[in-house]
Chains A and B, each alone.
Chain A
C-alpha cells in the first residue's frame, strides 16, 4: 500500500512470496526502486511484476537522462500503466506507483488493469480486500509523516494476520524532497491486534 502526506509519500509492503502452498521467500522486498524519487509496490505474479518493474526502471532511467532531471511520478506511473494495459490479458500483476516530485509533491497512483488514477492512498494485493474497511475508516486528511507510518504499519499488520498469502516482515520506504528512508518492521515488532486469546 501507499499513502501520501504533505511533503512526500510512505509506501509499504509485506514480504511473503508463495508457490502454491509453500512459502519460497519470506523476506522478499516488494518495494522496487523505479528511480531515486519513485518507488513501486509489486503484487500478483512475481515474474510478471518483476519483469514490468525492470522494464520501467530502464525506461525511466533513459527518460530522466533525456529530460535532464528527476522524473515526474506521473511519468513513471504512465510507463507502468502502458505496459499493464497493453499486456493486460497475458499478465497478472498490479503495481502501485508512489513518489515525490517538485511539481505536485507526494503522489500515489494506482494502475490496476491498466488505469492511471491518482489517489490519496492505495491498497493492493490479495490481502487488501481484508483491510478496505480499516483504511477507509482510519484515513484522515492532512496526516503527518509519523501518522502515515502508523497507518501503513497497522493496515499491513491486519492484512498479514488475515490473509494466508501475506506475512513475514513489513518493509516501508518514505520518499520526500530530501530523499528516501527505509524501515523494516520485524515479525515480533508488528503492531498487535485482537488475535483470539493471545
Chain B
C-alpha cells in the first residue's frame, strides 16, 4: 500500500485543520497516475478532498474515478478530533445530500471491480407495547438479519431514552440505535433545562420531527413507551414521521402476527402479570411465524416507580444438545507410516497486553 497521493499533494490537508485523510491506493500503474497528475482535467484519480471545518470531523471525497486497467483498492481512513460538542444538536435545514454523489460513484466503482458494499443490517423484528393498569410493557425479539443471514442472535432492541422512557426499534439497526441515542441525549439536556422528568410526548415530538426532516430515509420504526407525571403513554412512530398514540401497538416484519394476538386478548386495565404474558405471547407469535424475527423475548416493564428490564425474559429458542457423537474411532483410518519430527521452539519475547474491559 502506498500513500502516493499524500506525497503528491492530492490528499494533503493543511496542518491547522484537525483532520487528516489518508487515502491508500494499491497497485496503481504509473501511467494512469502520471496522466492524472499531468492533466488534472481528464479523469483525475482524486477530484477533491475536503474537510468540513465546522465539525472538524469528516474528510469527504467528492469523486473517485478508477481507470479500468488499474485495480484500485481505495481505503479511506479518517483520523480526526471531535470538535467542541454542541449542546442539544439543533436541526439546520433539510436532508443533507452532500455524500450522495460520492456514494453513488463509490458503489458503481466497487461493483465494477466485483466487490460489493455491505448492505444495511436490518432488524427484521417483532416489537410491541401495551398499556396496562400501572404502566407500560414493551417487548421485542432479539434477531438481527443481514439479508437472509442472521447477523446477531441476541441483539438488544429495547433502547434507553430516559429513566422513565424506553423505545423499541425496528428497521435499519444503525438508524434505530443512533436515532434513539440522539434523542436520549437531547432529552437529558432538555430535562436538565426544565428541571423535570421528561414526558413521553416530548420524546415523541423530537423523534417525529427528526424523522420527518429526513423524509423517510432514516429507516427507524419505533415503539415508544413510558410513564410520566401525566400517566402511562405508548406511541408508535413510523420512518416518515407519522405517529399514533394507542393502548397497544406492534411494529416490524412480525407486526401482523403480534397484532393478531393483541386484538384477540387485549383488555383495558390489565394486571402486570397478565400484560407481561400477553406481550410475551405476541412476540412469540412473531418469532415463530415470521422469518425476520427469532431467538429470545426481551421485555421492559415501566411503572411509575420502577423499571424492569428483563433481558431475556423468555429463552424461546435455546440451542439444543447434540444427541449423538459424530467422532470417528481411532483406527477407522488405516495408518501406513508414521514419522515424528521435533520442532525446536525458543521463547524469545513474552508480552502481556492488558485489555480495556471497562
Q: Which A residues lie at the B interface, using CB under 8 A? A: 17, 19, 22, 24-25, 27-28, 45-51, 90
Contact = CB atoms under 8 A, between A and B. Distances in A.
The B interface, classified by DSSP as helix, strand, loop or mixed, is mixed
A19 B256 contact: no
Interface of B: 208-209, 211-212, 215-216, 236, 238, 240-244, 246, 255-256
21 contacts: A17-B242, A22-B256, A24-B238, A24-B244, A25-B236, A25-B244, A25-B246, A27-B246, A28-B244, A45-B242, A46-B238, A47-B208, A47-B240, A47-B242, A48-B212, A48-B240, A50-B242, A50-B243, A51-B208, A51-B209, A51-B212
A47 B244 contact: no
Contact of B241 (A25, A28, A47): A47
Contacts of A45: 240, 242
Contacts of A48: 212, 240
A46 B242 CA distance: 6
A46 B209 CA distance: 13
B140 to A, nearest CB: 18
A101 B209 CA distance: 31
Given A46-B240, A90-B215, 19 more contacts: A17-B244, A19-B238, A22-B255, A24-B238, A25-B236, A25-B244, A25-B246, A27-B246, A45-B240, A46-B238, A46-B242, A47-B212, A47-B238, A47-B240, A48-B240, A50-B243, A51-B209, A51-B212, A51-B241
Contacts of B244: 17, 24-25, 28
A28 to B, nearest CB: 6
A166 to B, nearest CB: 17
A31 to B, nearest CB: 15
A50 B241 contact: yes
B179 to A, nearest CB: 15
Contacts of A90: 215
Contacts of B256: 22
B236 A24 contact: yes
The 8 A-B pairs with the shortest beta carbon distances in the complex, nearest first, are A46-B242, A47-B240, A47-B242, A47-B241, A25-B244, A51-B212, A50-B242, A47-B212
Contacts of B242: 17, 45-47, 49-50
A6 B8 CA distance: 81
Contacts of B209: 51
A49 B242 CA distance: 8
A22 B246 CA distance: 16
A90 B217 CA distance: 14
Nearest to B256: A22
A92 to B, nearest CB: 10
Contacts of A50: 208, 241-243
Residue among B236, B242, B243 having the largest count of chain A Cβ atoms under 10 Å:
B242
A7 B273 CA distance: 52
Contacts of A22: 255-256
Nearest to B212: A51
A48 to B, nearest CB: 8
Nearest to A90: B215
B162 to A, nearest CB: 22
Contacts of A24: 236, 238, 244
A44 to B, nearest CB: 11
A25 B237 CA distance: 12
Nearest to B213: A51
A74 to B, nearest CB: 27
Nearest to B246: A25
Residue among A47, A48, A90 having the largest count of chain B Cβ atoms under 10 Å:
A47
A50 B212 CA distance: 10
A162 B256 CA distance: 24
A1 B66 CA distance: 58
Contacts of B212: 47-48, 51
Contacts of A28: 244
